[in-house]
Structure 1
Amino acid sequence: MTLFTPLALRLSAAAAAATVLAGCSMGGMFGGGNATQTQTLQNATPTPAAVAAAQTNALPAIATQCPPIRVRPGSEAMFYYGSGKTGDARALQYQGVIDETTRNCVVSNGLITVNMGVTGRVLLGPQGNQSSVNAPIRFAVERDGQAVYSEKYTVAVPVVAPARSAEFVQVVDNVAIPYLGGEDIVIWVGFDTRN
């Protein structure tokens, strides 16, 4: 017959709690997107006053989960047609699609520091003969309905003949988000083809 001492039970409970908390601090979430979200984050820039106000009251906190990363509705794919024939499948030169998204987080001194990434593909269409395609990818972070980060990245994607498609990866490191505890934080990603 095995007897558990109070000390052994406390050590087992502490180890289980540490495992659960470690699992909550990082991870990946794929795709999705909330159709009710707006597209206002495309060119959003937080004001210095808004960032300062968010940081003023920031205290060290333990995040219970890493903010979700979602593909912004309507930005899952991009299409480029030749000769102004938008929508004509025979005139398609190339298209891009987002395949997967991921992120991980570290919480320290009242900040959630996020590393986020996206993978996707560029595929040449019937009229495509490009050897390289630029994929315009935007990452944005929304905290309680306010943009605290928004940046567009142009990813050069080489398409080496005879292949008609190529994959791309874009990773953004060390984006710091003020965190008090309980805020609604969402990471958005998607194609941004506006000039």
Structure 2
Amino acid sequence: MNLPTTLMLRVSAAGALATLLAACSMGGLMGGGNAAQTQQLQNATATPAAVAQAQTNALPAIATQCPPIRVRPGGEAMFYYGSGRTGDARALQYQGVIDETSRNCVVSNGLITINMGVVGRVLLGPAGNQTSVNAPLRFAVERDGQAIYSEKYTLPVAVTAPARSAEFVKVIENVAVPYLGGEEITIWVGFDTRG
């Protein structure tokens, strides 16, 4: 027997063996196996207790979604005027604005663990010459209108000449919020200039 014929016989034998093994492993899927077990599975019905247990273990609707993140009305911008001339555009030293917000969530063991963040800018006004500005940001999480998390952060933002603006980014990680199901949860962010 020459080498090509031997090789072809080996390949044919390997293919036949693979087909035989595949057929054996698919026996249970194709109706093979113990007939009594198959009959038992075909006639199985869930008891009321089993249905109640499955419903208890099911995740509520809130757990399958990440709560929305919103900029708190009135907190989307901050303004600092010099010499007590509030509202005078020529006296504006700097302002801060929020450009983007983002969040993501992981649901596990009755908790929604939230990572939330914001991107914004500080812009110097006509009267501004600061090289550093503190941006006071507050992140909060509310459940049905009640705060369950609230934290204020002061971000130092460096403004390097000749630029008259600078970007800032703040990310808060691993805020764990218990969920019960059916409640309305909202993530808030905004400037908080109160003392």
Q: TM-score, normalised by structure 1?
A: 0.69
Instruction: Report the 3-state secondary structure (helix = DSSP H, G, I; strand = E; otherwise coil) of the residue aligned with 2:90.
Output: helix
* Pair 1:165 & 2:165 matched: yes
> Are the counterparts in 1 of residues 64 and 107 from structure 2 also a CA contact under 8 Å?
no
CA distance in structure 2 between the aligned counterparts of 1:180 and 1:144, rounded to whole angstroms? 12
CA offsets 1:86-109 (integer angstroms, 9 cap, x no match):
000000000000000000000001
Instruction: Report the 3-state secondary structure (helix = DSSP H, G, I; strand = E; otherwise coil) of the residue aligned with 2:73.
Output: coil
1:181 is displaced (CA, Å) by 1.8
Deviates more, 1:174-183 or 1:153-162: 174-183
Equivalent residues in 2 for 1:97-176, closer than 5 Å: 97-176=97-176
Distance 1:132 1:146, change over 3 A: same
Equivalent residues in 2 for 1:36-75, closer than 5 Å: 61=59, 63-75=63-75
* Pair 1:96 & 2:92 matched: no
Instruction: Report the 3-state secondary structure (helix = DSSP H, G, I; strand = E; otherwise coil) of the residue aligned with 1:90.
Output: helix
CA offsets 1:143-178 (integer angstroms, 9 cap, x no match):
122110000000010000000000000100000000
Higher RCO (C-alpha 8 Å, min separation 6): 1
1:61 is displaced (CA, Å) by 2.9
Aligned residues: 139
CA offsets 1:114-162 (integer angstroms, 9 cap, x no match):
0000000000000100000000000000012211000000001000000
CA distance in structure 1 between the aligned counterparts of 2:92 and 2:146, rounded to whole angstroms? 37
Distance 1:161 1:179, change over 3 A: same
Percent identity over the alignment is 83
RMSD between aligned alpha carbons?
1.7
Q: Which has the higher helix share?
A: 2
